[in-house]
């Protein structure tokens, strides 16, 4: 039997070799059921070179201390909450930490307005329940229950999108570390190694504020947008190249200069002023996150590979930029036009981009 490559392998599959090398080289103490020491987890996340020469690629670009605090939280009895504006790698970091700590990043509860308590606690296999009555075999474990039994990291995505009463079912789980099943008169007790990494977006509309009782069970780490343009260029070009390979796009990874243009436009519009600070700009309504910059560049690669010369030019970036910036047709179109005229047009080396964007706005 041949196995098809999957579209998006989990971190522990994609980086299996790095994780194995880190665990093998690691002689520091490991917390119960951890695959490696907290130090090695930080190296896995931020990258480095091992004594035997194995290169660990950086996954997260950012402050070391912040990653240490995040990983350090997991050895305490508190859970970790990653918050920040959209596209600041909250989910990305949570996946990689779970992969390094537990070797499994797939115990995930996705928070939505429709998330029910059974997705957090447990459900029933109704055919079995009717045939045999309530029994342990009829219980369908949630990822949380599985993580408690196995002593693994459980990821909770978009915690604040869940209804408040469902969020609150984490209070007992996190403070008592038990999950009662009243129908059977038993409870599942968590074994060491169990913890939760939750993410929450502080920009979303329609969020359900966390109760203070629940908030107290978490250590909160705020993930900031990339500090400098260079950092952001590094992130976007590395991720776009990786995605291009994974999607098998027949295009070259974009030149650093093209990525830099996209990142500069995003940063200027996000901050509402040009890099030299001379021109004030209208801020568009969208979030213009790093994640969106990555998708502008990746779409550009798709266009260049299939309909263009194989190399990204201004023509391939223009439509992606327009789509990313203009979320509200009326107000954002005005902001984009103003930016094109006041900034893009004035930069001699950006003439090609100005022309390509003008053609689209038409
Ligand atoms: N500092 C960073 N280091 C590495 N990658 C980053 C960084 N910031 C953003 N990214 C990239 O941005 C992409 C989006 O990140 P992710 O989906 O984790 O964001 P998020 O914070 O969960 O956003 P949302 O609030 O929309 O869920 C990922 O591909 C990630 O690699
Ligand atoms: Mg996310």
Chain segment 90-128, per-residue pLDDT in tens: 999 999 999 999 999 999 999 999 999 999 999 999 999
Separation of alpha carbons 62 and 226, rounded Å: 7
Structure tokens belonging to residue 108? 């995930």
Q: Which residues are bridge partners to 222 per DSSP?
A: 83
- Percentage of the chain with pLDDT > 70? 98
* Index of the ligand 1 atom closest to the CA of residue 84: 21
Query: Which pairing describes strands 153-157 and 195-201: parallel, antiparallel, or unpaired?
Result: parallel
Query: For a substitution probing ligand 1, which of 10, 11, 85, 92 has the most ligand atoms within 8 Å of its CB?
Result: 92
Separation of alpha carbons 315 and 310, rounded Å: 12
Average pLDDT, stretch 1-21?
89
Q: pLDDT value at position 348?
A: 94
Tell me how many degrees the CA angle 142-145-149 measures, rounded to the nearest 5: 140
Separation of alpha carbons 96 and 110, rounded Å: 17
Query: For a substitution probing ligand 1, which of 45, 87, 207 has the most ligand atoms within 8 Å of its CB?
Result: 87
Q: pLDDT value at position 231?
A: 95
CA of 272 to the centre of ligand 1 (A): 22
The burial of 32, by beta-carbon neighbours within 10 Å (0-12 exposed, 13-18 middle, 19 or more buried), is given as exposed
Is 181 a residue whose pLDDT tops 70? Answer: yes
Q: pLDDT value at position 3?
A: 74
Average pLDDT, stretch 200-221?
87
- Residues with CB under 6 Å of ligand 1 are 60-62, 84, 86-92, 199, 201, 226, 235, 239, 290-291, 294
- The CA distances from residue 96 to 119, 204, 249, in Å, are 23, 24, 25
* Index of the ligand 1 atom closest to the CA of residue 92: 18
- Alpha-helical (H) ranges within 190-328 are 212-215, 229-246, 256-271, 290-307, 314-325
pLDDT bin (cut points 50, 70, 90) of residue 30 is very high
Separation of alpha carbons 342 and 172, rounded Å: 56
- Taking phi over 0 as left and psi of -120 to 50 as alpha, with beta for the rest, 103 belongs to left
Q: In this structure, are residues 85 and 225 in contact, taking their beta carbons and an 8 Å threshold?
A: yes
Residue 280 main-chain phi, psi, to 5 deg: -85, 140
Q: Which ligand is nearest to the CA of 225?
A: 1
CA of 82 to the centre of ligand 1 (A): 12
Is 208 a residue whose pLDDT tops 90? Answer: no
* Protein residue with least CA distance to atom 12, ligand 1: 291
Q: pLDDT value at position 1?
A: 56
**Distance from the first to the final alpha carbon of the chain:** 53
**Nearest of 132, 137, 108 to residue 120 by alpha carbon:** 108
Q: pLDDT value at position 206?
A: 64
- Percentage of the chain with pLDDT > 90? 88
Separation of alpha carbons 32 and 42, rounded Å: 17
Q: pLDDT value at position 98?
A: 98
* Protein residue with least CA distance to atom 24, ligand 1: 86
Q: In this structure, are residues 80 and 197 in contact, taking their beta carbons and an 8 Å threshold?
A: yes
**Nearest of 143, 253, 276 to residue 198 by alpha carbon:** 143
Residue 88: how many other CB atoms lie within 10 Å: 24
Chain segment 273-328, per-residue pLDDT in tens: 999 999 999 999 988 999 999 999 999 999 999 999 999 999 999 999 999 999 99
Chain segment 126-178, per-residue pLDDT in tens: 999 999 999 999 999 999 999 999 999 999 999 999 999 999 999 999 999 99
Is 359 a residue whose pLDDT tops 90? Answer: no
**CA-CA-CA-CA torsion for 110, 112, 115, 121, nearest 10 degrees?**
30
The residue ranges of DSSP E strands in the chain, in sequence order, are 48-49, 55-56, 79-84, 108-110, 122-124, 139-141, 153-157, 178-181, 186-189, 195-201, 218-222
Q: Which residues contact 215 (CB under 8 A, 6 or more apart)?
A: 81
Reported pTM: 0.93
Q: pLDDT value at position 2?
A: 61
């Amino acid at each position: 039997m041949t196995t098809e490559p999957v579209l998006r392998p989990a971190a522990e599959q994609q980086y299996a070799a790095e994780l194995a090398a880190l665990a093998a080289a690691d002689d520091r103490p490991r917390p119960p059921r951890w695959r490696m020491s907290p130090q090695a987890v930080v190296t896995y996340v931020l990258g480095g070179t091992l004594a035997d020469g194995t290169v660990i690629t950086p996954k997260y670009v950012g402050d070391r201390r912040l990653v240490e605090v995040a990983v350090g939280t997991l050895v305490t009895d508190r859970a970790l909450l990653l918050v920040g504006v959209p596209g600041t790698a909250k989910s990305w970091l949570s996946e990689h930490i779970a992969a390094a700590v537990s070797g499994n990043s797939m115990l995930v509860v996705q928070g939505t307005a429709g998330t029910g308590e059974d997705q957090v606690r447990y459900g029933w296999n109704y055919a079995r329940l009717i045939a045999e009555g309530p029994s342990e075999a009829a219980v369908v474990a949630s990822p949380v229950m599985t993580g408690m039994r196995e002593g693994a990291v459980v990821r909770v995505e978009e915690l604040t999108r869940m209804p408040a009463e469902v969020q609150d079912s984490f209070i007992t789980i996190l403070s008592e570390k038990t999950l009662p099943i009243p129908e059977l008169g038993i409870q599942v007790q968590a074994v060491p190694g169990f913890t939760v990494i939750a993410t929450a977006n502080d920009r979303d509309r329609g969020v359900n504020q966390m109760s203070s009782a629940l908030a107290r069970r978490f250590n909160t780490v705020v993930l900031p947008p990339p500090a400098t343009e260079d950092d952001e260029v590094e992130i976007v070009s590395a991720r776009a190249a990786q995605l291009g390979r994974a999607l098998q796009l027949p295009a070259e990874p974009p030149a650093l200069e093209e990525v830099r243009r996209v990142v500069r436009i995003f940063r200027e519009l996000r901050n509402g002023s040009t890099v030299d600070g001379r021109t004030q700009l209208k801020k568009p309504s969208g979030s213009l996150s790093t994640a969106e910059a990555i998708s502008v560049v990746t779409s550009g690669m798709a266009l260049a590979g299939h309909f263009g010369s194989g190399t990204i030019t201004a023509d391939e970036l223009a439509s992606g930029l327009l789509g990313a910036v203009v979320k509200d047709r009326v107000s954002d179109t005005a902001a984009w036009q103003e930016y094109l005229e006041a900034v893009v047009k004035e930069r001699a080396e950006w003439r090609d981009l100005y022309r390509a964007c003008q053609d689209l706005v038409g």
